[in-house]
Structure 1
């Protein structure tokens, strides 16, 4: 196995997951599976767990499947694919659930231009309570207009 190819697959998978997250968020979460995502927008629940969290479980299962293919079937690309999905999931959880939604009270005072832009873009996404007329479905790559004051 070539190390550069392994790294390219890992980084490519991580980058592709932003596109997958955007697609899933726009067309699945705000589409056919709105019932699972709705509680994330409405906060009409008292539990720390949201039905929306099932999307994390789904992508974790895909990542685990790649690890299993690597471990038990000798599919060497399963490791960088699984790790790329896992790394994106950790990043997404850190940015979305910890930094933006403050599920854990850390990173509250992040004052970096990038952090402010991501937070602004997500705030614009949540101003729409329904599944229609949404904007800013990505997480890490948001439109440049949100980085301006």
Structure 2
């Protein structure tokens, strides 16, 4: 189960709507080994694509350095799907490289960048196996 603050999810949804029609992406870091997502980091989608995301390499390196200095790790990897449901694609599954992380997907397929519903779902992806998990919101 992913336990996460509501304001972090709200910020992810805002990011997804802002970047629509391209996929938005980012991470939430937390103290190493804690499974506690505390710091949201919006990343630039270097692919600038409505069907694929790739972290900007300079931002990714900077993030890795910051996490090392703070004894943080990636707790959540998030991205949006702009035309499909909030379920990992084959590409998402093959590129999932953080076995400790929760993979949060937001679908803006029904709302685009305007008002309207979005779907938010969380998964664990380990060795190509996808398991959906519940999301528990906290303040």
TM-score between both structures, scaled by the size of structure 1:
0.35
- Give 1 or 2: higher helix fraction: 1
TM-score between both structures, scaled by the size of structure 2:
0.36
- Give 1 or 2: higher strand fraction: 2
State which structure, 1 or 2, has the greater radius of gyration over its C-alpha atoms: 1
